[in-house]
Amino acid sequence: MSTLLSPLDTLAHRLGIEPSSETLVLALTHSSYAAEHATESNERLEFLGDAVVDLAIADLILREHPELNEGSSSVLRSRVVNEESLATAATALDLAAYLRIGRGVMKENGLQRPSILADAFEALVAAIYLERGYDAAKDFVQHALANAVANASSVTSTLDAKTRLRQWSEAAGLGAPVYETVASGPSHDTVFEATVHVGELCASGTGRSKKRAETRAAEAAWEGRRHAGTT
């Protein structure tokens, strides 16, 4: 006689994690749910998962793209390890179906927010790392983001976002971009938010390091320039 599995059990089996894993449940617990139920959220796991994802993708780039130097490899990684790509990977896993979020965020269609999905993906990676070790987490990340790496590597430009934005702004007579970065949160879980100003154009980005936050701000400014039709 077969036993029907719960949705969470099914996910656990797909990941090679015990269904009873408290770490898995924690990885799927958004801060809004944690606040409503006086429990811990997945934010600390997301911090760990962010580092594991970075390392796994760096490893993949090093092996599959030996022609790239350090700078170009960093650019490629930044094109892969970002909110959009991680949210897409989370969607492919149907991760929203398993997330625990607060009532208020649920009413605001929080399960569709790329930021929540991307953070949950990183927390899930951390859960795999803690339960099964780095090799299992690395294999999971590289498989989940393989298409993102392939697509990003097909882009011909090797300029990083900040360099590209600076070259354009100076050529347009706007001077060099000006970055303002602030840090928030405890020392073990600091989040940086950077804002870049180029003429009347302003954009922001966040990250676990000042460099990543400024890179994301530069990427947002570049996209804002394109969407605005500025040349």
pLDDT (mean) for 39-52: 95
Per-residue pLDDT tens over the stretch 46-68: 999 999 999 999 999 999 888 77
Residue 144 lies in a domain: yes
Residue 193 lies in a domain: yes
The answer on 108 and 29 residing in a single domain is yes
Counting residues of the chain whose pLDDT is more than 90, the rounded percentage is 52
pLDDT greater than 90 at residue 141: yes
Catalytic residue chosen out of the listed positions 46, 54, 122, 219:
122
Residue 1 lies in a domain: no
> What pLDDT score does 227 carry?
58
| CA–CA dist 198, 178 (Å, integer) | 7
The answer on 149 and 57 residing in a single domain is yes
| CA–CA dist 194, 175 (Å, integer) | 18
Residue 179: CATH number of its domain: 3.30.160.20
DSSP string, 96-159: GGT-B--HHHHHTTGGG-HHHHHHHHHHHHHHHHHHH-HHHHHHHHHHHTHHHHHHHHT-----
DSSP tally for the chain: helices H, then strands E: 12, 3
Q: Residue 212 belongs to what domain range?
A: 161-227
Distances in Å between the Cα of 179 and the Cα atoms of 131, 171, 202, 218 are 40, 18, 10, 9
Q: What is the pTM of this model?
A: 0.68
> Binning pLDDT at 50, 70 and 90, where does residue 156 land?
very low
Distances in Å between the Cα of 188 and the Cα atoms of 170, 174, 215 are 37, 38, 22
pLDDT (mean) for 188-209: 90
Residue 36 lies in a domain: yes
The answer on 177 and 141 residing in a single domain is no
In the residue annotation, 59 being an active-site residue is answered as no
The answer on 126 and 180 residing in a single domain is no
The answer on 129 and 31 residing in a single domain is yes
Number of domains, the chain: 2
Instruction: Among 153, 179, 196, identify where a domain stops.
Output: 153
Residue 2 lies in a domain: no
The answer on 129 and 67 residing in a single domain is yes
Instruction: Among 101, 126, 153, identify where a domain stops.
Output: 153
pLDDT (mean) for 84-89: 94
The answer on 177 and 138 residing in a single domain is no
Catalytic residue chosen out of the listed positions 50, 54, 131, 219:
50
Residue 223 lies in a domain: yes
Per the prediction, the chain carries an average pLDDT of 87
Residue 72 zone, left/alpha/beta (φ > 0; ψ -120 to 50; rest) = alpha
pLDDT (mean) for 171-177: 89
Q: Side by side, which strands form the sheet with 201-207?
A: 178-184, 191-198, 201-207
The answer on 113 and 176 residing in a single domain is no
pLDDT greater than 80 at residue 85: yes
The answer on 60 and 18 residing in a single domain is yes
The answer on 171 and 147 residing in a single domain is no
Distances in Å between the Cα of 63 and the Cα atoms of 50, 59, 156, 218 are 20, 6, 19, 28
The answer on 24 and 117 residing in a single domain is yes
Strands (E), the chain: 178-184, 191-198, 201-207
In the residue annotation, 122 being an active-site residue is answered as yes
The answer on 148 and 167 residing in a single domain is no
> What pLDDT score does 157 carry?
53
Residue 112 lies in a domain: yes
Helix axes 70-80, 43-64, angle to 10 degrees: 130
Instruction: Among 98, 123, 153, identify where a domain stops.
Output: 153
